[in-house]
Amino acid sequence: TIRPSFNGWRYTSDTVSVDVTFSPCNDGMSDIVYKDTVTVLVGTTEFRGCGGGAVTPGANLANTQWSIASVNGQDVYNPLGRGPLMVRFGQNGLSAATGCNGMGGNFVSSEGWIYTPSLIGTEMACDARLMAQEQAIAVALSGHKTIRNGSEGSIILGVGNDNIVLA
């Protein structure tokens, strides 16, 4: 039997169930990100993996640069005046200037989502408010996040209250 499931498809027989979820998946052994997350249940044994083909690195956001306009609904805090807070998306990697420290990592994106497996960054000490803002930027950029259109050509990266607006 084949039927739609939450964000994907479910295939079932008397002994096997396969769930394909339209969500990026990394196999944990390479930097390849696949289009779908796959769960197979055979009896009581569950197998998890990836499928749907590899995602093209950097689709949609590649080779763009954005100013960070707000973090979790708050205007950016930039007490050191080190230039604008920015996120630059290259072909496969991103870098962010956050006011005190910098961070970066690999990413893949497509229409409506971005996936950043991990970020690395410098670790200079700054005032508590700036450090909290940088942590919020890291949360908004890390892992699997949605991309939504904002106002006046901006985009919103993140889920719920953990988001940044890029202009």
| Strand pairing report for 86-89 and 64-71 | antiparallel
Query: Contact, 155 vs 66, CB < 8 A?
Result: yes
Look at residue 31 in the predicted model and tell me its pLDDT: 64
Q: Which residue has the higher pLDDT, 111 or 64?
A: 64
CA dihedral over 66, 60, 56, 33, signed as positive or negative: positive
Q: Say what the pLDDT of residue 143 is.
A: 87
pLDDT at 23 over 80: no
CB-CB contact of 65 with 88 (8 Å): yes
Measured from the Cβ of residue 10, the count of other Cβ atoms closer than 10 Å reads 16
Q: At which residue do the structure tokens 């080190």 appear?
A: 82
pLDDT for residue 91: 83
Poorest-pLDDT segment among 27-41, 55-69, 75-89, 153-167: 55-69
10: nearest Cα among 34, 33, 38, 35: 38
| Whether 38 contacts 61, CB under 8 Å | no
Task: Name the pLDDT band for 110 (thresholds 50, 70, 90).
Answer: confident
Residue 42: band (very low, low, confident or very high) from pLDDT cuts 50, 70, 90 = very high
